[in-house]
Structure formats: C-alpha cells, structure tokens
Amino acid sequence: MAKLLNLLSVNFRRAFLRKRFIIGGGFPCAIGLLIVYLAYRTDGDVDYAPFFMTGFLPMLIGITAGLYISQDYTTNTIRNKIINGHSRTSIYLSNFITSMVGTFIIYGVYLLLTFGLGSLVTGVSSDFDGERTFKGILLVFCILFTFTSITVMLCMINSGVSGTVISTLMYMILGMSSLIIVFVDNDLFKELFVNLNPTFQIDTVSEYATGAEYSEENIHISWIPISSIAYIILTTVIGISVFNKKDIK
C-alpha cells in the first residue's frame, strides 16, 4: 500500500501539472465558458449544458490519459519503476487511479463552469428538472469512468501509441459497431447491444436528461451503473493480467 501511495503521489505531480493535462482539461472549460456566455447574450439558460460535450469527452480522455501512459513507456518510466521494486499490479493501479481522478477533474470542472457558474449568471428555466439532471450527471460520470478504464487497459498492454489512438477513437468505433444490429435479427441481442454499449449509453443519458423521447421499454438507464462496474472490473482484471506477463524492454 505504501508503494502504491508513493506511485500515486509521483503520478499526480507528473500528470496534473503537465501542459498536456492543462491544455486537455482547459479545452472543455473554454467551451463551457463559451456556452455560458452565449446563454447570457441570448437570454437563454444552461439547463442541459452538462450534457453538451458528453460525446466529445471520451475522445479527450483517450488523448490525456492515453498519452500520459504512452509517455511512461517511451521514457522507460514503467521499466524504471519495475527495476526500483514496484510491483506491476501497483504500477497498473496507480495509472488507473490517476486516470480516473483526471476524468473526474475534467468533467467536474466543466460542470462547475457550465452548470454552476451558468446557473448563477443566466439561471435555469421554469421547467428545469433538478432530479433528472442530477441523475444524468451521475450516469455520465459512470460512462466516462468506463471509457477511462478501457483506455488504461489498452494503453497499459500496448507499449506504443496504438493504445492511445484506439482509445481516442473508441467512442466512434463503438458507435459504428451499430452496423452489427442490421445483420442480426434478434430482439434480445439488439436490446443488450444498445444498453451495454458505452457510446449508446451516452446518447441515452443525453436524451433522458434533456427530456427527449426514447423507448423506455427497450432502453434501461438503470443498467448503466451496473454495466460500468462490470466493465471497470473486467478491463482492470484483464489489463493487470496481461501487463504482469508483458515483456517490457
């Protein structure tokens, strides 16, 4: 545990004080401020602002977390940690926790700017549903943590930047996988595919939080936190297992 905490303290300094994270985290913040400004200038509101960038954030996670881990390989940081006596499991978990914290900070700051500051500047509409918005935000966090866990797994088992590239495109790859539904004539498969696909989950939460129409008979938002936990456990177990056997030169 002591070595894990030591790795985390080093990771936090390296990850969150670097230009990559500041720029990566600053981009959605800048967009958030622009949203608030436009809402103020047009006498609008920020009711749905927390869900405007949910489709872009998985790609941003792939860039920030992915490049951070990939750099550990290119600079031999991971190899040096192993030589210094750190277990591979601790190295994996330290990068996993660091990436999760980074995701929480990025989306958390975006929420504070768009919804927190925005509600003070422009207010919310008379039909604003606070409970639905709060549930939507929690569900988005679950999905973003799923993408983060997948990113960590891909980047930790790949020494180069291929893991980062795949992670960055993961949102689009999972979205394009919907073509599978066209060739499968099975209602149960289609229901499971749509409800367990993180990309479709983001779209579902956005529709739910903004009051858009969707079929509650086939779409189950209650599955999202459960599937998120399952994804995180599965990808972490697989990632640690493969990383422990990986030949690091």
Q: pLDDT tens-digit profile of 141-188? A: 999 999 999 999 998 888 777 777 888 888 888 888 777 777 777 778
Single out the residue of 123, 112, 129 nearest to residue 50, CA to CA.
112
Contact 148, 103 (CB under 8 A): yes
Question: What pTM was estimated for this model as a whole?
Answer: 0.89
Q: pLDDT tens-digit profile of 14-46? A: 766 666 666 766 777 888 888 888 888 888 788
Q: pLDDT tens-digit profile of 3-20? A: 677 777 777 777 666 666
* Local confidence band at 47 (pLDDT 50, 70, 90 cut-offs): confident
Single out the residue of 72, 94, 9, 96 nearest to residue 248, CA to CA.
72
* Local confidence band at 240 (pLDDT 50, 70, 90 cut-offs): very high
Within 8 A by CB and 6+ apart from 138, the residues are 225
Q: pLDDT tens-digit profile of 178-214? A: 777 777 777 788 788 888 889 889 988 888 887 765 5
Q: What is the mean pLDDT of the chain?
A: 83
First to last CA, the chain: 26
